Amino acid sequence: MINPRIILIPLTLLMLALLLWNKANTVDYIHFSGPTMGTVYNIKVRSDVGPEAAETQEAVDNMLAEINSLMSTYDTSSELSRFNQWRSAEPFVLSEQTIVVLNEAIRLGQLSEGVLDVTVGPLVNLWGFGPQARPEVIPDEQTIASIRQKVGLDKLNVSQNQITKSHPDLYVDLSTIAKGYAVDAVAELLSAYGHQNYLVEIGGEMRVKGVSANDIGWRIAIEKPLTTERDVQNVIAVGDNAVASSGDYRNYFEENGVRYSHLIDPRTGFPIQHNLVAVTVVHPSSMTADGLATALNVMGKDDALRIASENNLDVMLITRENGEFNTYTTGKFEQYIEAARSR
């Protein structure tokens, strides 16, 4: 039996915290937040642009509620849940929004050589990190092998606004990318309202544009991957970009001294077991950064560095080696660190 005293902590995997420096504000900003997608959102925008804050928040809440009604696996009546309950090989019609996210998930699955697999949900559920309860016993290899027969992007086909499954039990979970999509959608809504300076954050996934209340570019602190306290690993200034992170140091359980991460490697069916503990990705799209951060974290340091370098991605990896944290960067990531230091 799994020790009930080992608590699975349902917190954001790697929180990205805005650093507010001690400098007099030159313009007022409004901040509003609310629940969404099993977590919370936070938004900061200038108060002198766009409609009233209450109107903006209502529009944001309505948009996020719609996205959740389409892509949630916890809501059994959502569009995605209804597809997961669909046992037919006939096409299933999906909304444009869900198709956009699925197509990007498939593209990132190919880029990551199959590591980002949005059909891995049955394995996630088997290990107790999905909507279903934690297992009473650690899954055995035979059970894992059986579940893996239901998993694989090759069993999923998207054509225009339709999706089909070649296995009746195929299950799609967009949690690795949907929050990022929601961040992008909210950011585009704010831009449509005339906002040119804002921060949007949902469950740690973030996108910024323009300047902060101090009339300087937004600076973001990347948390050091510690389980017992909170500290800053690096501070970055990313311009008009999104930032997403993935880590396994808060969402896990332990059994007989073995640590089981919530990150499941679809290539093995088991939780990851390597020394890469956190990944941060900077990209224009929060949806893309969200998916990439998870994929790179699952594949481990060497493959993550190779994929990031081959695709010119702006990435920072944090490993735990000989009891110490080491960092590795690709693309322009060091420039983001230097930009934060120079302000």
Determine what percent of the chain is predicted with pLDDT higher than 90. Answer: 61
CATH number, domain containing residue 131:
1.10.3980.10
Is residue 308 situated within a structural domain?
A: no
Rounded Cα distance, 276 and 272, in Å: 9
What's the average model confidence in pLDDT over 18-43?
Answer: 73
Q: Is the pLDDT of residue 21 over 90?
A: no
103 domain residue, yes or no = yes
The H-assigned helical ranges of the chain are 53-71, 79-85, 96-111, 121-126, 141-148, 178-192, 286-299, 301-310, 333-341
The residue range of the domain holding 143 is: 70-165
| Predicted confidence (pLDDT) at residue 57 exceeds the cutoff of 60 | yes
The predicted structure's pLDDT at residue 250: 53
Question: 227 pLDDT band (50/70/90 cuts)?
Answer: low
| Domain-embedded: residue 75 | yes
97 vs 251, higher pLDDT: 97
Domain count, the chain: 1
**Pair of tokens at residue 320:** 């735990």
Residue 285 lies in a domain: no
Do the domain assignments include residue 210? no
Better-predicted residue by pLDDT, 74 or 66: 66
Q: What is the pLDDT of residue 132?
A: 60
Is residue 281 classed exposed, middle or buried when 0-12, 13-18 and 19+ CB atoms within 10 A define those classes?
buried
What pLDDT was estimated at residue 13? 34
pLDDT at 4: 32
Instruction: Decide if 316 is inside a domain.
Output: no
pLDDT for the residue numbered 90? 95
* Backbone dihedral angles phi then psi of residue 294, each to the nearest 5 degrees: -65, -45
Report yes or no on 303 lying in a domain. no
Calculate the alpha carbon distances from 106 to 121, 291, 295 in Å.
Answer: 15, 10, 12
Measured CA to CA, the distance from residue 263 to residue 223 in angstroms comes to 19
270 token code pair: 């088991």
Pair type for strands 39-46 and 314-321: unpaired
pLDDT value, residue 6: 31
Q: What is the mean pLDDT of residues 168-176?
A: 92
Confidence of residue 226 (pLDDT cuts 50, 70, 90): low
Tokens of 65: 């509620």
Determine the residue type at 244. A
Kindly report the average pLDDT of the chain as a whole number.
85
| Predicted pLDDT of residue 15 | 40
Instruction: Confirm whether 138 is domain-assigned.
Output: yes
- At 205, is the secondary structure helix, strand, or coil? strand
